[in-house]
Amino acid sequence: MIAKFLLSLTLIAVAIPCTISAQPSLGKRLDSLFTIASSGEIKYQSLVKPADDSIVAMGNAVIQPLVSKLGGKSRYERIAIERILKRFGASAVPSLLAVLRYDNGWVAERASYILGEIADTSATLGLFGMTVHSRWQAREQSVGALGKIGDNRADSTVMAALADTIPLVRKSAAVSCGQLKIQASILQLVHMLGDPFYGARMPAAEALPKLDTPNVIQSLCDSMASENPLLGNLACEVLGKIGTQAALDALNEQAFGGHPERRAHAAIALITADPDDTRNFRYFYLGYETDPFSRLKVESAIKAVSHGRSESQ
Q: Which phi-psi region, left, alpha or beta, contains residue 16 (left: φ > 0; alpha: ψ -120 to 50)?
A: beta
Q: Which pLDDT score is estimated for 309?
A: 54
User: How does DSSP classify residue 166?
Assistant: S
End-to-end Cα, the chain, rounded Å? 60
- Provide the whole-model pTM: 0.84
pLDDT tens for 156-180 read: 999 999 999 999 999 999 999 999 9
pLDDT of amino acid 3? 40
Q: Is the dihedral of CA 114, 112, 162, 216 positive or negative?
A: positive
For the chain, where do the domains classified as CATH 1.25.10.10 start and end? Answer: 119-211
pLDDT at 12 over 90: no
> What pLDDT sits at residue 1?
45
Among 75-79, 205-209, 259-263, 297-301, top mean pLDDT goes to: 205-209
C-alpha angle 243-169-269 in degrees, rounded to nearest 5: 20
Kindly tell me if the per-residue pLDDT of 21 is higher than 70.
no
Closest to 113 (Cα-Cα) out of 91, 79, 142: 142
The Cα 219–Cα 7 span in angstroms is 65
Buried b (16+ CB within 10 A) or exposed e, 235-245: bbbbbbebbee
pLDDT digits (tens, 9 = 90+) for 194-244: 999 999 999 999 999 999 999 999 999 999 989 999 999 999 999 999 999
pLDDT of residue 18: 41
Fold exhibited by the domain 119-211: Leucine-rich Repeat Variant (1.25.10)
pLDDT above 90: residue 312: no
Alpha helices in the chain (DSSP H): 2-14, 26-37, 45-57, 63-67, 75-88, 93-102, 106-118, 124-127, 136-149, 155-161, 167-180, 186-192, 198-207, 213-223, 229-242, 245-255, 260-273, 281-288, 292-312
